[in-house]
Structure 1
Amino acid sequence: MVSSLRLGVAGLGTVGASLVRLVDRHGAELSARSGRTVEIVAVSARDRSRDRGVDVSRFAWFDDPIALAQSADIDVFVELIGGAEGAANAAVRAALEAGKHVVTANKALLAHHGAELAALAESRGVSLNFEAAAAGGIPIIKVLRESLAGNAVTRIYGILNGTCNYILTRMEREGLSFDACLADAQRLGYAEADPTFDVDGFDTAHKLSILTAIAFGTEIDAGAIYVEGIRSITTADIEAADELGYRIKLLGVATRSESGIEQRVHPTMLPKSSPIARVDGVTNAVAVEADFVGRLVLAGPGAGGDATASSVVSDIADIARGDVVGTFGRPASAMRPYQRATIQSHAGGYYLRLAVFDRPGALAAITTRMAEQGISLESIVQRRRAPKADAPDHPQPLEPQPVILITYDTTEAQVKAALERISTDGHIAEHPQMIRIEQLA
Structure 2
Amino acid sequence: MTRWHLRERFRSNPMWFDAVVMVMVMPWTMTVTNGLMTQDYAASQMPGWFFPLWGLMYSLPFLWRRTRPLWMASGIFAAHVVQLFLVPMVMPSNIVVPVALYALARYEKPRRARFWLAIVLAGAAIASVQWGLVDAASGESVGLVEKLARITFWLVAATAICLTSWFWGQWNRQKDLTHESWRERAEALERERQQGMALVAQEERNRLAREMHDIVAHSLSVIVVQSDGAAYLANHDEIGDPEARLAQVNKAIETIGQTARTALTETRRLVGVLRQDGEDLEMAPAATLDQIEELVIQLGSAGIPTSFHVEGGADLHAPIGEGAEMALYRVAQESLTNVMKHAGVNATVEVAITHTADAVSLRVSDTGAGPTQSDGLGHGLVGMRERVAAWGGQLNAGPRRGGGFEVHAILPTKNERKHP
Q: Kindly indicate which of the two structures has a greater share of residues assigned to strand.
A: 1
Which protein shows a greater Rg?
Answer: 2
Do the two structures share a fold, i.e. TM-score over 0.5?
A: no
Q: Kindly indicate which of the two structures has a greater share of residues assigned to helix.
A: 2
TM-score normalised by length of structure 2:
0.22
Relative contact order, higher structure (CA 8 A, sep 6+)? 1
